[in-house]
Copies of this chain bind each other. A is one copy, B any other.
Amino acid sequence: MTVERGATDRRARRRAESSAAVQQMPWGAWINPLPPLELLDGESLDRIEATAFRVLEELGLEFMSPEAVSILERNGAKVVDRTTGLVCLGRDVVKAFVAKSPHLFTLHSRNPDRNLTIGGNRINVHTVGGAPNISDLDRGRRPGTFADQIELMKLQQGLNCVHFAGGTQVEAQDLPVPTRHLDMHRAQVTLTDKVFGARGIGRDRVKDAIAIAAIVRGVSREQLLTEPSTYTITNTNSPRRVDKELIGGLMELAENGQAVCVTPFTLAGAMAPITLAGALAQQHAEALAVIAFAQMVRPGTPVVYGGFTSNVDMRTGAPLFGTPEYVRTTLIGGQLARRYGLPYRASNVNASNAVDAQATYESAMSIWACVMSHTNMMHHGTGWLEGGLVASLEKVIIDAEMLQTMKAWMSPLDVSDDALAFDAIKAIAPGGHFFGADHTMSRFENAFHRPLLAEGRNFESWTEAGSIDATRRANGVWKRMIEHYQQPPLDPAKLEEVDAYIARRREEIATSGLA
């Protein structure tokens, strides 16, 4: 019996090892031990902020929802034009309401081990979001489908350096728009156990996300009020406008205690002034105004200050990312968010048309800027390509490699006597080598970070093996990960409840004539 059990254990271990197709870091929080990089001095920040307040006080923002306008008015905003929804906000009102935002909050998942702390010195990596197209080396670039959405969910669920399950990573263009979010949520709660995003367009879609979050977590709506379990990324319609559907989604989230990441879409030269200081002033005005509004809807609403200011290619109008401009606005955005103790969102972004050196260095610049700016929510952390028009499966792996590297070098360094290795140095004669030393041999398996992708073999053996470059190796990695994908368990009773909810909603939507 003992012998057999031993053999079974070995077989089980071997099975587990072969199913762990890709060696990666374990799941866990990413703590940023670094001081944030303060690129701008206080006086310059004051000037940007003063301009932002002048924008809000003298020019105003359009809230394209009478409901929102009346809430703003009740809380001290001045309505300039009731037809358009243009309101001006005094800095005192803005500051008083922004101050109601929590500095730190927890996003809850159906698996408590996947709960995320947002704020402070935590970095949480979010998947790519909102890409209309999908791309990989085998099938090329094509409009996204539900099958692609599922593939991305499986891949990102398997990657331990990705903290969020994400929202719409890629559009499921083959599904009808009115019920597309229901399919997405069912996939999210069955294929992943990480915190998932809602679709923030209109109250109804957000209602569905909240209802499904409550079901899979098995908690009441009251409990959800203090335990946010879903969120949206809410872009303003820059310059100085927030449309009705986004306001609806935001209000639904805020009323129910869920989280909102407010991100002005301030591309310098397009939706904002071409000068970075001006674009940042506009970003700051829009972000603070919408965050203040969320606090008017419900004080204490968990919010994230989103920075997304970048520049555009002035010949084509196309957005550019990972540029020097993007690095600066990301760093300064963090400084502006910290003025209010707000959790900060920035992104891992690039504008390349291929998963090539450009995609990689633009992303590397973005990731470093995120980390040095104390970004708490790194949006588009894995898989974004082509200025957001494409979610790339190979790029997911390249990004994961970079993110793992970043997290690894921040881990504490062992400076014990054993690590200082005086005796090991003593044991090796001048001009000798440490390869066979006991100190080396007893540590070599785990001494160094294991990359997902990088290769150390020499040119000759790399050539013999087919000269496979990193992007093509990434193709192999995502396939192995999806092949070895493991579905997280979900209580069948909860799944049944989710399915019943979705079926009822499908019927309601069909009846309403929207489908």
Contact = CB atoms under 8 A, between A and B. Distances in A.
A91 interface: no
Contacts of A328: 409, 413
Nearest to A474: B357
A279 B428 CA distance: 13
A40 B314 contact: no
A451 interface: yes
Contacts of A467: 353-354
Interface stretch (A147-155, A216-224, A233-241, A293-301): A233-241
Interface residues of A, number: 123
A109 to B, nearest CB: 28
A406 B325 CA distance: 10
Interface in A339-395: 351-365, 368, 386, 389-390
A74 interface: no
Contacts of A359: 357, 470
Interface string A436-449: 01011001110111
A362 to B, nearest CB: 7
Interface string A408-445: 11010111101111101110101111110101100111
Contacts of A358: 453-455, 469-470
Given A239-B425, A269-B435, A351-B456, A324 B61 contact: no
A62 interface: yes
Contacts of A489: none
A358 B354 CA distance: 14
B357 A471 contact: yes
Contact of A54 (B323, B390, B422): B422
Interface in A458-496: 458-459, 462-463, 467, 469-471, 474
A271 B433 contact: yes
A275 B430 contact: no
Given A324-B406, A332-B413, A364-B402, 6 more contacts: A273-B424, A273-B425, A281-B420, A323-B405, A352-B455, A361-B405
Shortest Cβ-Cβ A-B pairs, 3 listed: A278-B421, A313-B456, A364-B364
